[in-house]
């Protein structure tokens, strides 16, 4: 009888241990499944001075508050899958979460492959021509610089694009002597 009680106690202990480990594994699986990963892009928009127009130099460039940039993502079939326009802050900086951006194909639709940022408009009346600094004319590609933001069950992968620039329409001719 004592052996039967001991056997029953050992069996009960093993059953409880199995249930406890299953519960812990399920909790861990749920916590991973609930973590939401979003994508964001950041960058800065400048007014390039006349002394450097025609180059990619941003020496002496001034940030443009209120400039507008567009974010365009295309899928692997070259169809627009995401589009948004955002505005820079007083330091010419923009940060925009890509709310609604989805990866239909995990490799081919990746933001590094299909997303670009385009300068749209400048708030400065004397600095409105788009330059090709960082391929602004065709769209500055996203760059991954290992920047992530974490919260409770939340993660944001932040990409960078640019810097982008506008320039004045009229610059005095350069003198070469």
Any domain includes 119:
yes
How many domains is the chain built from? Answer: 2
**pLDDT for the residue numbered 28:** 47
pLDDT tens profile 81-138: 889 999 999 999 999 998 877 666 556 656 777 899 999 999 999 999 999 999 999 9
Across 22-36, 110-124, 157-171, least confident range: 22-36
**pLDDT for the residue numbered 151:** 78
pLDDT tens profile 32-88: 445 566 889 999 999 999 888 789 999 999 999 999 999 999 888 888 988 999 999
In this structure, are 55 and 79 located in the same domain?
Answer: yes
**pLDDT for the residue numbered 113:** 74
The CATH number that applies at residue 126 is 2.60.40
Classify the C-alpha dihedral 113-79-105-25 as positive or negative. positive
In this structure, are 12 and 65 located in the same domain?
Answer: no
In this structure, are 42 and 116 located in the same domain?
Answer: yes
pTM strictly above 0.75: no
pLDDT higher for 106 or 154?
Answer: 154
DSSP summary character for residue 108: T
Any domain includes 61:
yes
Any domain includes 74:
yes
In this structure, are 5 and 62 located in the same domain?
Answer: no
Residue 162 is part of which domain span? 36-167
**pLDDT for the residue numbered 58:** 92
Specify the 3-state DSSP secondary structure of 115: strand
In this structure, are 28 and 50 located in the same domain?
Answer: no
Any domain includes 29:
yes
Residues 96, 41: Cα–Cα separation, whole Å: 5
Residues 46, 61: Cα–Cα separation, whole Å: 6
In this structure, are 26 and 90 located in the same domain?
Answer: no
**pLDDT for the residue numbered 99:** 84
Any domain includes 53:
yes
Residues 12, 168: Cα–Cα separation, whole Å: 81
Query: Where does the pLDDT of residue 176 fall: very low under 50, low under 70, confident under 90, or very high at 90 and above?
Result: low
In this structure, are 78 and 3 located in the same domain?
Answer: no
**pLDDT for the residue numbered 149:** 83
In this structure, are 30 and 53 located in the same domain?
Answer: no
């Amino acid at each position: 009888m004592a052996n039967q009680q001991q056997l029953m106690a050992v069996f009960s202990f093993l059953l409880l241990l199995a249930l406890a480990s299953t519960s812990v594994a399920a909790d861990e699986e749920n916590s991973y499944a609930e973590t939401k990963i979003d994508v964001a892009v950041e960058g800065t928009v400048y007014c390039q001075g006349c002394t450097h127009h025609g180059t990619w130099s941003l020496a002496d460039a001034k940030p443009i508050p209120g400039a507008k940039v567009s974010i365009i993502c295309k899928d692997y079939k070259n169809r627009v899958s995401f589009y948004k326009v955002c505005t820079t802050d007083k330091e010419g900086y923009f940060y925009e979460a890509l709310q609604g951006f989805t990866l239909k194909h995990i490799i081919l639709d990746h933001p590094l492959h299909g997303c670009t940022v385009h300068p749209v408009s400048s708030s400065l009346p004397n600095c409105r021509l788009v330059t090709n600094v960082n391929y602004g004319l065709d769209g500055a590609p996203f760059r991954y610089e290992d920047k992530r933001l974490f919260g409770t069950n939340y993660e944001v992968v932040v990409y960078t694009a640019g810097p982008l620039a506008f320039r004045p329409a009229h610059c005095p001719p350069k003198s070469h002597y």
